[in-house]
Amino acid sequence: MATWSNLDTLASYQELTKAARVNLAEVMSGEKGADRVKNYSIPMAEGLVYNYASKQVDDQLLSALAKLAEEAQLSEKFEALYNGEVVNTGEKRLVLHHMTRGQLGQAVEADGVDKRSFYVEQQQRIADFANKVHSGEITNAAGEKFTTVVQIGIGGSDLGPRAMYLALENWAKKNGLFKMEAKFISNVDPDDAAAVLASTDVAHAVFVLVSKSGTTLETLTNESFVKDALKNAGLDPAKHMIAVTSETSPLAKSDDYLAAFYMDDYIGGRFSTTSAVGGAVLSLAFGPDVFAQFLEGAAAEDQLAAKKDVMENPAMLDALIGVYERNVLGYPATAVLPYSQALSRFPAHLQQLDMESNGKSVNRFGEPVNYPTGPVIFGEPGTNGQHSFYQLLHQGTDIVPLQFIGFKNNQMGTDVVIQDSTSQQKLCANVAAQIVAFACGKSDDDRNKNFEGGRPSSIIIGEEVNPKTLGALLAHFENKVMFQGFLWNVNSFDQEGVQLGKVLAKRVLAHETDGALKVYSDLLNI
């Protein structure tokens, strides 16, 4: 049995706080810098590599981190999780998102069924449905093929699937695997649904309603919006909608849907991209085989996360370095910077994944912790970010650790040579240059043009963004966040912090307010 202890009670953490600081600008200079880049690297799945040469670590610090990993029992805790222990203690639930893409340990039974079989069954049902939509066996009432899929969901039912769709859209088009355009409706702002519907041929659209509980206010509201639009077009909503929900929700087994696919309580929204939540829309958009490859990549990365040796476990090392930066070095935020337009919304997904999981002030036993937990996460694709907020990253008063992601090849294969290099080469040259600029800086007598350096980053490098590498990338970050939650001793799998706002919003709508809330409501004309 693993022992769940606060970070600051661990002897190895106390040791870590006393370890000598690494002068990044110095260790990254000259030939020893070159050696670091060659050596400080761990293979990931699907040909990806996690390179941490530009992090503020050295061999001594790495061994301190390895001790911390051991004392914090990171491997044992992950093992407990994938073997079906109730790791989500607050909600008293298993945590089974890994099982949507493989089985790392023993069989896990819950709700009277083998969970791996349950997830595979849902994938097969989705695959069958998607294939029938693509072949024209399932059509609209007029017998015409569906051409568009519209996901209605918010938070984890939106950000992950949307980011993955955008990541693979052009790859699928290029490789002849693009089946249907996908769109997304999330915000309760009526302009969101109205704008999507205005640009959608609803007669040929299938809508995927995603809500585990079947009670998410935004999602049910947007469903009504969509149903109105379908009815106004003389269409039967029940012939245009499918549901992704839990088997016990009001949406399950309802005649209002062409089909329902199931998720369960053991997968939190932000970890649900590899479940039916991502499965339905991505299988419809790109075909079930592409979704299966995506799961394969994630499963392969999970295998690495299960390795006990931290130097073979990129997610674990990434997590440890992040905690060192947050708790020992005191850096309050982390930027995620993919040098790939395909990953334009990947940072927005990671923002939820990380901040909702580890933005907690109490440990898993409900006791306040005395140390910082999850940082602020933000990011935009490079090179765009270079022309936006990198000024602060290079010369601001706070140090922001950086997570770069880069690929050797672009997706669409179209390129142009300007000044003797392709755009892809320019893109890659920029990310290489940024890492070194951040780490080493450059002194200048004009202090305004001086770069201190010492700004840490890591980079994940891959061949191209495709279903497998994308799955591996997603799993890497899911596992990193999980390991950090273990280190901080928080429950990464609940989100009680979102409840109060919901309660108060209901009160406003019921006009049961007083004090400040009433005046704000008046100002907003509610």
Question: What Rg, from alpha-carbon coordinates, does the chain have?
Answer: 24
Determine which residue in the list 6, 7, 36, 283 makes contact with its own copies, applying CB under 8 A: 36
In the complex, the smallest distance separating the C-beta of residue 118 from its own copies, rounded to whole angstroms, is 25
Applying CB under 8 A, which part among 2-10, 15-23, 258-266, 499-507 lies near its own copies? 499-507
Cβ distance to its own copies smaller for residue 31 or 112: 31
| Burial class (CB within 10 angstroms; exposed 0-12, middle 13-18, buried 19+) of 169 | middle
Which SS3 state, helix, strand or coil, does residue 491 take? coil
Q: Does 175 bind its own copies (CB under 8 A)?
A: no
CB 188 within 8 A of CB 221: yes
Q: Does 172 bind its own copies (CB under 8 A)?
A: no
Q: Which of 301, 356, 380, 478 is catalytic?
A: 356
Determine which residue in the list 63, 83, 139, 187 makes contact with its own copies, applying CB under 8 A: 187
DSSP assignment, residue 409? S
Instruction: Give the number of residues in contact with its own copies, rule: CB under 8 A.
Output: 159
Determine which residue in the list 14, 23, 124, 391 makes contact with its own copies, applying CB under 8 A: 391
Report the alpha-carbon distance of residue 305 to residue 302 in Å, rounded.
Answer: 5
Binding mask 64-103 for its own copies (x = CB under 8 A): --------------------------x-------------
Cβ distance to its own copies smaller for residue 274 or 411: 411
Determine which residue in the list 56, 75, 351, 466 makes contact with its own copies, applying CB under 8 A: 351
Cis peptide before 383 (omega within 30 of 0): yes
Residues 237 to 276 in contact with its own copies, rule: CB under 8 A: 269
In the complex, the smallest distance separating the C-beta of residue 233 from its own copies, rounded to whole angstroms, is 14
- DSSP of 70-137, one letter per residue? HHTTHHHHHHHHHTT---BTTTTB---GGGGS---SS--EETTEEHHHHHHHHHHHHHHHHHHHHHTS
Determine which residue in the list 225, 262, 266, 324 makes contact with its own copies, applying CB under 8 A: 225
Active-site residue, 380 included: no
Q: Does 43 bind its own copies (CB under 8 A)?
A: no
Active-site residue, 239 included: no
CA angle 293, 178, 462 (to 5 degrees): 45
In the complex, the smallest distance separating the C-beta of residue 216 from its own copies, rounded to whole angstroms, is 8
Active-site residue, 502 included: yes
- DSSP of 218-244, one letter per residue? HHHHHHHHHHHHHHHTT--GGGTEEEE
Binding mask 292-331 for its own copies (x = CB under 8 A): ----------------------------------------
To 10 degrees, what angle do helices 499-509 and 515-523 make? Answer: 70
Q: How far is CA 221 from the centre of its chain?
A: 25
Residues 475 to 494 in contact with its own copies, rule: CB under 8 A: 491, 494
In the complex, the smallest distance separating the C-beta of residue 163 from its own copies, rounded to whole angstroms, is 12
Going by C-alpha positions, the residue among 4, 41, 48 that lies closest to residue 475 is 48
Q: Does 156 bind its own copies (CB under 8 A)?
A: yes
CB 243 within 8 A of CB 261: yes
Which residues have a catalytic role annotated? 356, 387, 502
